[in-house]
Structure 1
Amino acid sequence: MVRDFAETGLPPGWEVRTSKSKGLPYYFNTSSMESRWDSPEGTDPEKLKVFMASYHSSKAESTAQGGGGDAIRAAHLLVKHEGSRRPSSWREAKITRTKDEAMEIIQEHERKIKAGETSLAELAATESDCSSARKGGDLGFFKKGDMQREFEDAAFALQPGEISGVVETASGLHLIERLNA
């Protein structure tokens, strides 16, 4: 089903598709055959946010069937900044916020979660700069060596149901929740 800019916020020729290998949404240009994880230049982030929340979101349901061995399952909420490894996301084609501004945003998310106003999964679905947002931030199962060192150190230190404080990686600032298997 082709959707136009008024609904998706994507520039002409771009559409949202789902990766067969990862089960995550990505952006595909039907003219140039270019595909990318981050939204293309010219995207209306507010329209895309509403579209993705409506059509590409689930409440932290993972299709992974068990992790086995030393694997754990976690979800996260990512706030990128201009110094992030890839300063763009499904929400914004070009992220220009400073690291300090990103820190303020993620600390407010952390406050809301810890106050019981919302869950990490609910916030991640609309506010995370990671494409895992469509799964409520659920990254599925992973083992040591699969993620950035700072991220996995924090995730493996958590008990199931526990949420980390702010964790900084080359990708940006994260809140991580260790999920039950």
Structure 2
Amino acid sequence: MTFRSPRAAFAAALLSAAALGVAALPAHAQSPAPATPPAAAAPAPGATDADPVLARVNGIEIKKSDLTIAEDELGGSLPPQLQGPARQEYVLGFLIDLTALAQSAEADKLDQAPEFAQQLAFAKKRLLMQAALSKATKAAVSDAELKKTYDEALKQQKPEEEVRARHILFRVEDPKDEKASAAAEAKAKDVEAKLKKGEDFAKLASALTEDPSGKENGGDLGYFTKDQMVPEFADKAFAMKPGEVSEPVKTQFGWHVIKLEDKRQKPLPSFDDVKPQIEQFLAQKAQAEAVQKVRDAAKVEKTTAAPSPADLLPKTDAPAAPAQAPKP
């Protein structure tokens, strides 16, 4: 079951654009953490057991809370094989390098450059935007709202039939190859005859089918809806009764012999199955609405220097003026 919002793409695009605006920090993978961890320091004044000081760089403290912030910021860029204490040590090494480089940059007065002030202002706005979107998300994604959205989605789901079937396939690589098609049809008819004599379908499928995925499970396709199979196969399977075996059926893949195992109404997903999707849907919806609300309330004035919609159109060269006829 999929939950969609007309504004979901807008919210996703906004968040992606915000992410692209972040200046990349040096990859810590190129500056591994020192093999010997820094010596344990005495607890700093005011430090608590919940947020201990992990290291000091020229007197500047790095706390456990700093580690959490850095880990969230780095996100998927961290090597996936690093988990637990190794991951924390890796991030701490990154923070040590980051702090030392920041101190060096301040010593060189790089923070006094005009462009630095612009970048700092942009970073502040980006963080404030993230805080606002996070606030909107927390308010929207409650247990009650999750359950309400799930119940509303279930009401919109129409009952859908699905079947479980097995098949034995004899492939025809080129549908236009009549000789190969006739040979595959003959094999399918031979199987049909064996089944009429009482041979086991699953055993024949494991021995004869040319569908690689069916050899280990006796040709079992599991449950599927009508739109999940090619029309010729689906029409035949859904017209059968459980226990029935079809005559050879031709599709674009070759010739099939089908056995219908079961028919049922497709079960609806449980709340736990789709809870992550609902959370994502509600978060995107809340964020898009929050953005639209503040945008509608804001007084926006674009100057003549701003790009206009016409600037987005591809440029075309004007047709050349016709050559002037020579005077007699």
Q: TM-score, normalised by structure 1?
A: 0.53
> Residues 104-161 of structure 1: CA distance to partner in whole angstroms, max 9, x if unpaired?
1111111000111x12211110110112221100000000100000000000000000
Match of 2:247 in 1: 165
| Match among 155, 158, 161 for residue 237 of structure 2 | 155
Moved over 4 A (4+): none
Match of 1:178 in 2: 260
Match of 2:170 in 1: 79
2:227 aligned counterpart, secondary structure: coil
Q: Which letter does structure 2 place at the counterpart of 1:151?
A: F
Match of 1:107 in 2: 189
Distance 2:242 2:228 in 1: 19
| Match among 128, 135, 138 for residue 209 of structure 2 | 128
Distance 2:227 2:262 in 1: 20
Identity %: 36
**Cα distance, 1:180 vs structure 2:** 2.8
Q: Which has the larger radius of gyration?
A: 2
Q: Within 5 A, what are the aligned runs for 1:36-115?
A: 69-84=160-175, 98-115=180-197
Q: Which letter does structure 1 place at the counterpart of 2:246?
A: S
- For structure 1, the residue ranges without an aligned partner over 5 or more in a row are 1-67, 86-96
**Cα distance, 1:98 vs structure 2:** 1.0
1:135 aligned counterpart, secondary structure: coil
**Cα distance, 1:81 vs structure 2:** 2.3
Distance 1:113 1:75 in 2: 13
Distance 2:161 2:191 in 1: 30
Match of 2:227 in 1: 145
Query: How many residues in Structure 1 have an aligned counterpart in Structure 2?
Result: 103
**Cα distance, 1:84 vs structure 2:** 4.9
Compare the two structures and name the one with the higher helix fraction. Answer: 2
1:180 aligned counterpart, secondary structure: strand
- For structure 2, the residue ranges without an aligned partner over 5 or more in a row are 1-158, 264-328
